[in-house]
Amino acid sequence: MEGVKVMIARLIGFLFLFSTFIPASIVYAESSIEQLSENWSMQATQIVEWVEQEKWLEAKEQLAKLAKEFSQSDLAKKDWDVQEIQLLSSVILQLDRKLNQVSPDKESIQFAAKQLQLAFDAISHPHQPLWQQMYQPLVSKLSHYQEANRQGDKEKMNQLWKEIKRDFQLIRPGLVLSKSPYTVAKIDSLINAIEKTPNIKDRSGGIDQLFTLIRPLFFGSEKDVLAVVDPIEAFSLELMIIVICLFMLLVLTYVSWRKYQGRRKHVA
């Protein structure tokens, strides 16, 4: 009997330790991953600052440190999919290639560094990503494009479209890490359709759709985006079920009424 009591006491002690330390270790692991993401974001921001000052060597060293930490981290714990990991790796490699050119092109390096910053910021600040700061500049350029279209200023329209397209390319890594693949594919498709329209005057429809889409894309939900780019698919499953149920109810009501009418005639 004494041995049984000892075993029960040990079991209770083990369960206490398990319930106390295992959740704590999980919380620590999650917090350390968040801290790691934040650290990567800060390093990316520092790289942007080195690039702005044309300190290529410092930028290279900082990028090498970031790349090493990223490649050696346990990405499985972050619950990222393959596409997200590939995207983050590609923005690192892209900037690395730009920095190792024989004659550094500051403009292209700045663009690649900014993409790196927006990508890593999107994973560390998912609720308020830095790429959302591009909302106002894009809205302004789209508004100016519409005004230039009304005035028939093709040269200005061409220049504005190049800037709009470049801005979307800049924030695309952030979009991929913040939005669903379907939403990103729809944005890519719309921009490609506008780009491939040969007559610049015929682009106004696509630009108008892009202008309508910009706010839900930056600050709305996936359903808000679908309501603009694909209204048919924006209907929720719940609404479709309600419509089907109402239709079935009407059919059953009609059938019952016909049967009732038939019986009345038969009795008469």
The closest of 33, 123, 25, 22 to 77, measured between CA atoms, is: 33
What percentage of the chain reaches a pLDDT higher than 90? 54
What average pLDDT score do residues 226-234 get? 62
Give yes or no for a contact between 43 and 66, defined as CB atoms under 8 angstroms apart.
yes
Within a 10 A sphere around the Cβ of 106, how many other Cβ atoms?
Answer: 12
pTM of the model: 0.73
Structure confidence by residue, pLDDT tens digits, 5-63:
545 555 455 444 444 444 433 333 444 668 888 999 999 999 999 999 999 999 999 99
Cβ pair 92, 6 in contact under 8 A? no
**Per-residue pLDDT at 14:** 46
Least confident of 156-165, 179-188, 215-224, 244-253: 244-253
The model's confidence at residue 115, banded by pLDDT at 50, 70 and 90, is: very high
Residue 264 pLDDT:
66
pLDDT value at position 1? 53
pLDDT tens for each residue of 235-267: 454 555 676 777 777 777 766 766 766 676 666
Mean pLDDT of the chain: 82
Q: How high is the pLDDT of residue 257? A: 66
The CA angle 38-41-46, to the nearest 5 degrees, is 130
For residue 268, the model assigns a pLDDT of 58
pLDDT at residue 202, as a whole number: 87
pLDDT at residue 176 tops 90: yes
Q: What structural domains does the chain harbor? A: 16-124 (1.20.120), 127-258 (no CATH)
Q: Tell me the CA distances in angstroms from 168 to 12, 89, 171, 210, 227, one per residue in order.
A: 58, 20, 5, 11, 20
Rounded (10°) CA dihedral 17, 21, 23, 24 = 160
